[in-house]
Amino acid sequence: MHQVLFYTFGALSVICAAAVVSRKNLQAACLALVLFVMSISVLFSILSSNYVSVAVILIMIVSVALPYCLAAIAIGRRSPSRRYAIRFERILGASAVLYLALVLCVAIAKPPFLPAPMTGEAFSASPALGRILFSSCALPLEMVAVAIFTSAIAASIIRKRRTHPDDEGIIL
């Protein structure tokens, strides 16, 4: 089962990454990025990194894919291939439903098919990750926190900047 999961979601992640790169339609590319993040989170979960998998879903989809989608709506407003985008959205929706069904099955069945952690419970336990984050990785954690705070301020400053006084800007 480990092999099936790896090959399925590995192929799905590569296909979605290729779709992000190759598609002309920006909205479809953003939706492909969402599906890519979903498939890669399953791969993280296979690697006994459940906490990182959840963090990837939360961080990437909420704070990354949502601004991407808004920017794609603002930039690619006159996209000619809307029909293909709608078809792609349907495929994405079906894939998301399948993904959620798989996650529910995994959560309910307490699966024996997922590989056992190589170092026992200590490797996959979240308290161990918390101890590492707040002890040996405390300085990088603080630096990333400062970087996120600074980038939020920088993003708002960049968006507020107006070079032309009569420019009305983009309404999101």
- Give the nearest distance from C-beta 33 to other proteins in angstroms: 5
- Give the nearest distance from C-beta 112 to other proteins in angstroms: 16
Q: Which is nearer to other proteins, 11 or 104 (CB)?
A: 11
Q: Which is nearer to other proteins, 97 or 150 (CB)?
A: 150
For the chain, where are the alpha helices, taking DSSP H only?
A: 2-22, 26-46, 50-56, 66-75, 82-109, 121-124, 126-133, 138-160
**Interface residues toward other proteins, by CB under 8 A:** 2-3, 6, 10, 13-14, 17-18, 20-22, 26, 29-30, 33, 36-37, 40, 43-44, 47-49, 51-52, 55-56, 59-60, 63-64, 67-68, 71-72, 74-75, 118-119, 122-123, 128-129, 132-133, 136-137, 140-141, 144, 147-148, 150-152, 154-156, 158-159, 161, 163-164, 167, 169-170
User: 126 vs 52, 62, 92, 152, CA distance in Å?
Assistant: 9, 22, 31, 28
Q: Which is nearer to other proteins, 3 or 83 (CB)?
A: 3
Q: Distance between terminal CA atoms of the chain?
A: 44
- Give the nearest distance from C-beta 73 to other proteins in angstroms: 11
Q: Two tokens at 122? A: 């200590």
Q: Which is nearer to other proteins, 104 or 115 (CB)?
A: 115
Backbone phi, then psi, for 155, in 5-degree steps?
-65, -40
HEC profile of 48-70: CCHHHHHHHHHHHHHHHHHHHHH
